[in-house]
Structure 1
């Protein structure tokens, strides 16, 4: 694997962890989960469903990347963009609750 691909994987895994952490924080503050798949995972196995869903996400990404040309870095980059947006969205909602803007 190239160094660039390694960095993309580290970024994607870091964002998946960030998504799980910010989701758990948001839930602890009383914010609802918007993703029905994650809601179903939480209903099935409790809060463990949040990190488990991220493990499934990373595994699925790995399986997809294995099927494409190793030089197709855009495949990993395509997973990074929505993950970054989710973490940013979660962070904004957490900040709004913690700052008192949203009671």
Structure 2
């Protein structure tokens, strides 16, 4: 019988400054759940791999290469590895990073 494991990490992740939860990590895939309270910032950093960002709820400004990309609920954005970027929450927000 196949074992079904439901994970409620995203739903339970609080809006308390910056919260990062690793949902999946294996040799080929990593999925992070990020929660940002309104006006909280995910500081400047780079991704070790090309990545996809999917906004689950809220509204964020994604800053990359002197550009600001406003992303809202249910929008998707891709970005390249090793490019410095940072995120500011315009309102309480949750998003996934898939890389």
TM over 0.5: no
What range describes the TM-score normalised by the shorter chain of this pair? under 0.3
Q: TM-score, normalised by structure 1?
A: 0.22
In terms of fraction of residues, the more strand-rich structure is: 2
Q: Which has the larger radius of gyration?
A: 1
Q: TM-score, normalised by structure 2?
A: 0.23
In terms of fraction of residues, the more helix-rich structure is: 1
